[in-house]
């Protein structure tokens, strides 16, 4: 008895050949092999060995006790870094009622997090970006909707209570500060970009701006140093990519 639906006949002769069996246009007729018809058969050729190099590779999820669980991350839609990690800590911007805050956890402090875990809570507006100091694993910079940039010192064991006292507060932006970026080779040099279209170059040791870059005509979307910090690349809402020499402020 012929099968009730189309089937595929597979022949192997060096390479795999598939001959497709189709229904005859005649009513109530059985399935016929297209090789018996005058029209040429439809053939699909493929190699018998898969070309992928990732056969038999399976992902194994970490156990829950080795993950960070019960963390309410921020719902802010701003496109920046809401998580930052260094050899000691991981920092995560969290959702809070009023103001802005972020968690700082030692890397080995995994598992389910207490709802009342200690946070960094000194900003009056949502935290928009966080970056660890590349020269000091206990220093982290944050910027916020409150138009300020703040530096925080995290003790080696992590936070035992809410941290509300900052090391340095940097003020100068007229609108919210969207991004912060540490200089890769010069210690104590931090850059901040705000929605006032300005980039401030800060000396955090003195707590003052050493230069203000005023070369953007719209919102800044991203900024990044090259390897030695001699050049700064930025993207902007005006669809332009700028390469800036920050020491002299030349584009």
Transcribe 188-219 into DSSP letters. TEEEEEETTS-EEEEETTTTEEEEEE---SS-
Query: How many angstroms separate the CA atoms of 251 and 249, rounded?
Result: 7
Where does the pLDDT of residue 234 fall: very low under 50, low under 70, confident under 90, or very high at 90 and above?
very high
The answer to whether the beta carbons of residues 78 and 178 sit under 8 Å apart is yes
Which pLDDT value is given to residue 22? 47
Assigned domain for 251 exists: no
Give the three-class secondary structure for 67.
coil
Q: Is residue 120 in some structural domain?
A: yes
Mean pLDDT, rounded, for 61-85: 85
237 in a structural domain:
no
Together in a domain, 109 and 182:
yes
Burial label, 19 (beta-carbon count in 10 A; 0-12, 13-18, 19+)? middle
Count of structural domains within the chain: 2
Spell out the SS3 assignment of 139-174. EEEEEECCCEEEEEECCCCCCCCCECCCCEEEECCC
Residue 49 — pLDDT band, cuts 50, 70, 90?
low
In a domain, 236, yes or no: no
Q: What is the mean pLDDT of residues 216-229?
A: 93
- Domain containing 153 equals 64-218
CATH number for position 117: 2.130.10.10
pTM over 0.85: no
When pLDDT is cut at 50, 70 and 90, the band that residue 12 belongs to is very low
């Amino acid at each position: 008895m012929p099968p009730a639906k189309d089937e595929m006949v597979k022949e192997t002769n060096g390479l795999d050949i598939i001959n497709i069996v189709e229904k005859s246009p005649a009513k109530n007729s059985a399935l016929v092999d297209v090789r018996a018809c005058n029209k040429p058969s439809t053939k699909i050729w493929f190699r018998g060995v898969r070309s992928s190099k990732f056969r038999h590779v399976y992902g194994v999820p970490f156990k829950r006790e080795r993950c960070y669980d019960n963390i309410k991350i921020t719902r802010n839609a701003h496109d920046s870094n809401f998580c930052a990690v260094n050899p000691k800590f991981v920092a995560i911007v969290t959702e809070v009622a009023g103001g802005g805050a972020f968690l700082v956890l030692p890397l080995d402090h995994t598992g389910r997090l207490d709802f009342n875990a200690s946070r960094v809570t000194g900003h009056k507006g949502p935290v928009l970006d966080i970056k660890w100091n590349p020269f000091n694993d206990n220093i982290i910079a944050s910027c916020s909707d409150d138009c300020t940039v703040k530096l925080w010192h995290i003790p080696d064991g992590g936070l035992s209570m809410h941290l509300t006292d900052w090391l340095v507060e940097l003020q100068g932006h007229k609108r919210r500060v969207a991004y912060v970026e540490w200089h890769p080779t010069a210690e104590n040099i931090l850059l901040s970009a705000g929605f006032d279209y300005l980039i401030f170059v800060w000396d955090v040791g003195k707590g003052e701006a050493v230069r203000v870059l005023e070369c953007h005509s719209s919102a800044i979307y991203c900024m990044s140093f090259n390897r030695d910090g001699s050049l700064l690349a930025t993207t902007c809402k005006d669809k332009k990519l700028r390469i800036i020499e920050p020491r002299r402020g030349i584009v």
